[in-house]
Structure 1
Amino acid sequence: MATAFKVQLKHLVQSMLDEGILDSQFIQLQALQDASNPNFVAEVITLFCNEAQRIINDLEIYIGQQDVDFSKMDANVHQLKGSSSSIGARRVTLACADLREASDERNKDSAWNFYDIDHDLTACFWVNIYSLGVKFASSPYVLLCKLDSICRQVLIRINQEYATLKVKFQNLLQLENTISAIENNHHQFLDGRYSTMTNMHQL
């Protein structure tokens, strides 16, 4: 009976790979799970989800402030990107990379100095964020506003990608738990039969 659920699990993981939600790193994690550590994947997923949710909550707080501390935000994005990459969460990792790039542009000393020194609203400042397909020329003040907006948009994307991943992971864990329960019951049944037969032979 567990075989049918194992097939469902395999198809679910493959669909996540096909959709680009996961990459091959997750397959490598699955390969580390064995009889000596049957809950390895579930434990890794649970730790990742708890950490990811905490970081995303912190990022939303940071970016909601009037004066955003982009250096602090970047440190959190870097942490989320690393943990996402480690578990094979490809789309979350890519979104984090985009937010880091936008945040780096926002944090450039040249932009800040240009704006702080003369507030020249007629000056032209070029920004080219390759991975986001964004390229524009603007005054320093408008530039900073646009970069703030881009950072917020990418954070929304991170939230959406994580929400999608979390639902998929919940389905995956449900299948893992079902398979584990069936196999444990089967082993208990076999152990019970063996014990009964042993007792009968001793009579």
Structure 2
Amino acid sequence: MEAQVAAVCQNIESLLQQLQNEGVLDEQFQQLMQLQDDTNPDFVAEVVQLYFEDSVQKIDRMGAMLNSPVPDFKELDQLVHQFKGSSASLGAATIAQLCIKMREGCQTQNQQMCLMLLGQLRDSYLLLKGKLDTFMSLEHQRKQLLANLGR
């Protein structure tokens, strides 16, 4: 059983290292993980779940705004700014960088640029979600094994 826990922990570390090497996540995610302890064992899972729910709404809203004949770029910029902040807080480096570029598109009122970047944001979000779903599954498995060991 101990070997299984060690193997799952190794898989988690490998996944996070890969995501950091690819620039998908930065050190901020590691800092979030350090905030998780016995008093708050589901902290990271809760933060990730909230980020997923919030992100889908924001991306959908951006799409709706950009598909209107005359987008409100000021409102869109505020929404992108919020998304950048939540992404940076999670450690979603690629998404935060795309938001910075999209804010430039908002400031120049370049609808085509913003639409292109929104597509990249969607793709990056789906990639991140897939990887973090794997992380959450491994984390759940780790907790189950530890519970079976009485820890």
- So what's the TM-score if we normalise by structure 1? 0.71
Q: Which has the bigger relative contact order, CA under 8 A and spacing at least 6?
A: 2
Task: Name which one, 1 or 2, has greater alpha-carbon Rg.
Answer: 1
Paired residue type of 2:38 = A
**2:49 match:** 46
- Structure 2 portions without partners, runs of 5+: none
**Is 2:125 the counterpart of 1:169?**
no
Q: Which structure 2 residues correspond to residues 122-141 of structure 1 after superposition, within 5 A?
A: none
SS at match of 1:60: helix
Please list every run of at least 4 consecutive aligned residues from structure 1 whose deviation after the TM superposition is greater than 2 angstroms: none
User: Which whole-Å CA distance do the structure 2 matches of 1:75 and 1:148 have between them?
Assistant: 15
Letter of the structure 2 residue corresponding to residue 181 of structure 1: Q
The alpha-carbon deviation at position 72 of structure 1 amounts to: 1.1
Letter in 1 for 2:45: A
Aligned-partner Cα distance in 1 for 2:33–2:149: 23
1:101 matches 2:104:
yes
Other-structure match for 2:117 = 154
Distance in 2, Cα, partners of 1:11 & 1:4: 10
Deviations 1:169-191 (A, max 9, x none): 10000000000111111107xxx
Can you give the 5+ residue segments of structure 1 that lack an aligned partner in the other structure? 107-146, 189-203
Structure 2 CA distance for aligned equivalents of residues 65 and 44 of structure 1: 32
Deviations 1:17-43 (A, max 9, x none): 000000111110011111111111101
Q: What is the rounded CA distance, in whole Å, between the counterparts of 2:117 and 2:16 in structure 1?
A: 26
> For residues 34-62 of structure 1, what are the alpha-carbon distances to aligned partners after superposition, in whole Å with 9 as ceiling and x for unaligned?
11111111011001111111100100110
SS class of match (2:149): helix
Please name the residue that 1:8 is paired with: 11
Deviation at 1:7, TM superposition (A): 0.2
Counterpart of 1:30 in structure 2 is 33
Aligned pairs for 1:173-192 (under 5 A) are 173-187=136-150
Q: d(CA) in 1 for partners of 2:118 and 2:85? A: 16
Matched residue pairs, number?
148
Distance 1:179 1:90 in 2: 26
Identity rate, percent: 32
Once the two structures are superposed, what CA deviation does each residue of 1:102-136 show, in whole Å capped at 9, x if it has no partner? 11011xxxxxxxxxxxxxxxxxxxxxxxxxxxxxx
- CA RMSD in angstroms, aligned pairs only: 0.9
Aligned residue type for 2:93 = R
Q: Which residue of 2 aligns with 1:88?
A: 91
